[in-house]
Structure 1
Amino acid sequence: MMDKKKIVIAIDGFSSCGKSTFAKAIASKLGYIFIDTGAMYRAVTLYALEQGAIVDGVVDEARIVELLPEVEISFRFNEARGASDIYVNGVYAEERIRTIEVSNCVSRVSSIGEVREKLVAMQQQMGRSRGVVMDGRDIGTVVFPDAEMKIFMTADAGVRAERRYKELTAKGDDVTLEEILENVISRDKADMTRAISPLRRAEDALELDNSYMSVEEQMAWFMERYNEIVG
């Protein structure tokens, strides 16, 4: 792969579509850097929760904007996992950003203009050297509209809820499938209808419905199209 030109691969799509799993597999295959932008929005949401800017699901947007300068987000490669872990103000936060409490608030936090402005600037800086795979909601439309390869992922809401349920219960979280499905549906609506950077497929994005595809099948789909693009 070393003789092929380095590009930016932008992956957008609905929550719990397996975007990060797919993006990590691509990054590993190509020797690219993986940047989980969703984790960055979760990190801001976690910090807001810990600082009392979100109480009982009520989001204090003005307070979150005040807190933004205090939030430092970094990624560190974890050799044991073969992937990067996220740190908030130097503290490991990979598990804490994945709770249902954070999931229930992240769409609201990510709709705050100042939050998106700060994180989009960070993401653009991270991807400037190319050779990156970035996943999120607005990578191909806002963060990197000139990305050489754009993929829009989708999957049945029920399938996505089951995936998330298995993931959370495997960690010991006390959640129900109904609760997860409700969260998935509400996040879809919030992501698609927010005023700033709503979730939408870029006109030049390739669509991948992975409802019933294995990771191996998704990678075969990807490699065929990647080779067409880079030659």
Structure 2
Amino acid sequence: MIVVIDGPAGSGKSSTAKAVAANLQIQFLDSGALYRVATLVYLNSRKNNRSFFEQLEESEISFYFKKEKFHALLNGQDVTEDIRSMNVSDNVSEVASDPKVRAYINNLMREAVKHDVYIADGRDLGTAVFPNAELKFYMVADLETRAERRYNEIKESDTEVTLEEIKQNIAQRDDKDSNRSSDPLKKADDAIEVNTSDMTFEDQVAFISNVIKDELSKQTNK
């Protein structure tokens, strides 16, 4: 079973999905982190003057979820902190908009969820990657709230970043993600919208957890 949470950058998808996964003892898949790993490959390819796609195809991207944290690995090395840098953030939308990259990451995710119960977050999971997902949520929040969340998330690892830079980055990513030709960001017709601007974190986790528990109960009783 796969449950997906889509929405714009900073809407609370990843933190909520991780908490729900821990709460319900199910697996978590962070699609955004995987695109960030691909972006790290892209940045490295520019340094060593190699073909990006050649280097991506030769790379081994793996991941695991433990103690409410999604760990991303590139060729066996943990890059969980590296992929949250502003340099990666500034380039991830461009990399993720490439159809070849999307196909590569989408196949990686589809293989991962063939077994067990997963909750995944991203931008086009309910519309493009997992259109037949048993449950779909679409999380939204105003720009100011999203920028503050992202700032608090990365300020310890990137002390030079400012709130205004984060806000500009998110606004630019909103525009790119919504207007890209390949799998643009949009709400699936059958998704449940969750506006987190005025919700506490505990409330949004509880709401989504309860909906999933109801669905799991229905699946069990079939």
Q: TM-score, normalised by structure 2?
A: 0.91
1:64 aligns with 2:58: no
1:104 aligns with 2:90: yes
Say how many residue pairs are matched. Answer: 217
1:221 aligns with 2:207: yes
Secondary structure, aligned partner of 1:119: helix
- Residue in 1 aligned with 2:37? 43
Q: 1:102/1:172 Cα in 2 relative to 1: closer, same or farther (>3 Å)?
A: closer
8 Å contact from structure 1 (residues 155, 211) kept in 2: yes
Identity among equivalent pairs (%): 39
8 Å contact from structure 2 (residues 81, 157) kept in 1: no
Cα separation, 2, equivalents of 1:112 and 1:178: 27
8 Å contact from structure 2 (residues 85, 158) kept in 1: no
8 Å contact from structure 2 (residues 137, 192) kept in 1: yes
Which one is further off, 90-99 or 65-74? 65-74
Q: CA deviation at 1:227?
A: 4.0
Displacement over 6 Å in runs of 4+: none
RMSD across aligned positions (CA):
1.9
Q: 1:14/1:51 Cα in 2 relative to 1: closer, same or farther (>3 Å)?
A: same
8 Å contact from structure 2 (residues 155, 161) kept in 1: yes
- Residue in 1 aligned with 2:70? 84
Structure 1: which amino acid aligns with 2:181? Answer: A
8 Å contact from structure 1 (residues 152, 208) kept in 2: yes
Matches within 5 A, 1:199-214: 199-214=185-200
Which one is further off, 176-185 or 218-227? 218-227
Secondary structure, aligned partner of 2:46: coil
Cα separation, 1, equivalents of 2:213 and 2:21: 15
Q: TM-score, normalised by structure 1?
A: 0.88
